Amino acid sequence: MNDETEFRRLISNKERIPDPMRYKKGTMHYRRAGRSGLKLPEISLGLWHNFGSFDNFETMRDMIFTAFDNGITHFDLANNYGPRNGSAEENFGKILREQLSSYRDEMVISTKAGFGMWKGPYGDGGSKKYLVASLDQSLKRMGIDYADIFYHHRPAPDTPIEETCYTLHRLVEQGKALYIGISNYSREQTEAALKVFRELKTPFILNQSCYNLLDRHVEEDGLLACAKENGFGLIVYSPLAQGLLTDRYRYGIPADSRIKKSFSLKEERLTPELQQQLDGLRRIAEARGETLPELALSWVLKDETVASVIIGASSSAQILDNLKINPAFTQEELDEIERVLHS
């Protein structure tokens, strides 16, 4: 019995194993993370939302399988993802342990520490005490021996950068992480970390940052140029601007939308001027045979310095929709996008 036949037999019996054709579908391309040897899928799955204590476990499992079945090999977590803190790692770990443990070496699993995780003075920041304890807890929750990538989640001004960077370096030496990343660091902060990483020969490969058609700060403060100059990659979160770059708010604000349910996106952001810009972007997308979110994801990936784009999803259907990308743009298309956004 070949892999494909066994796969169909198990599916018919309502059992779930990864699709043996997952690398032959041609739906996913892989990019090097900076100058490292590690390749990431152009689309990665983030577990910030919809994988917590109050979410449906079967839906989570289905999303993980759908992602993996379509070449998404990178799963991005953090210690405080949930809610409750730690629950996204616990749920992912349960899925991995129960059905995907034999596929661990086909996955890139990343986690982070930096924001508030537990009470007291040692539960956030960038100290050695916090970072070591947090990674140990994350590995235990997920049931894995090491993280493929471990990030410092945010700059910690009250901790010397040397302490934070040396701790990350030591975690690699101890075998608890293979590669190191930083997240939400500006160009100036990144350059300070780079100096230490170079002295230590730390495998620093990624800066994870917000970047989308509406948020260009990685271009404006020179972080994108810094990545190109220094050989690390950018990995992008919020490529759809928390749903603004979709049709979710085209005709108003749904009661179950992030604007209504989350503190991270405010209603006043949705101005008439923004709606006009979004309509202009939709026209460009339609001319390319795309939807607005497809355009937005494609645009972020137009630069090879971007190693991967992290998507969030509440269903497998959303994951499949986000696979329809085409990072090739003509100069006329790029100029028209800028005209729409700056008119």
Q: Which residue has the higher pLDDT, 32 or 247?
A: 32
Of the chain, the percentage scoring pLDDT greater than 70 comes to: 91
Residue pLDDT, tens place only, 182-232 = 999 999 999 999 999 999 999 999 999 999 999 999 999 999 999 999 999
The mean-pLDDT minimum among 14-28, 40-54, 70-84, 144-158 falls in: 14-28
- Taking the C-alpha atoms of residue 185 and residue 259, their distance in angstroms, rounded to an integer, is 26
What per-residue confidence (pLDDT) applies to 263?
57
Residue 39: name the closest of 233, 224, 217 by CA.
233
Give the mean pLDDT of the chain: 93
pTM of the model: 0.93
What per-residue confidence (pLDDT) applies to 316?
97
Q: Is 271 exposed, middle or buried (0-12, 13-18, 19+ CB in 10 A)?
A: exposed
Residue 215, strand partner residues: 212
What per-residue confidence (pLDDT) applies to 77?
98
Over 90: is that where the pLDDT of 302 sits? Answer: yes
The mean-pLDDT minimum among 78-87, 240-249, 262-271, 290-299 falls in: 262-271
pLDDT band at residue 13 under the 50/70/90 scheme: very low
Residue pLDDT, tens place only, 96-121 = 999 999 999 999 999 999 999 999 99
pLDDT band at residue 343 under the 50/70/90 scheme: confident
- Taking the C-alpha atoms of residue 172 and residue 147, their distance in angstroms, rounded to an integer, is 9
213 in Cβ contact with 191 (< 8 Å):
no
What three-state secondary structure class fits 315?
Answer: coil
- Taking the C-alpha atoms of residue 337 and residue 333, their distance in angstroms, rounded to an integer, is 6
298 in Cβ contact with 327 (< 8 Å):
yes
Residue pLDDT, tens place only, 116-126 = 999 999 999 99
Ordered structural domains, the chain, with CATH = 25-341 (3.20.20.100)
Of the chain, the percentage scoring pLDDT greater than 90 comes to: 86
- Taking the C-alpha atoms of residue 229 and residue 226, their distance in angstroms, rounded to an integer, is 5
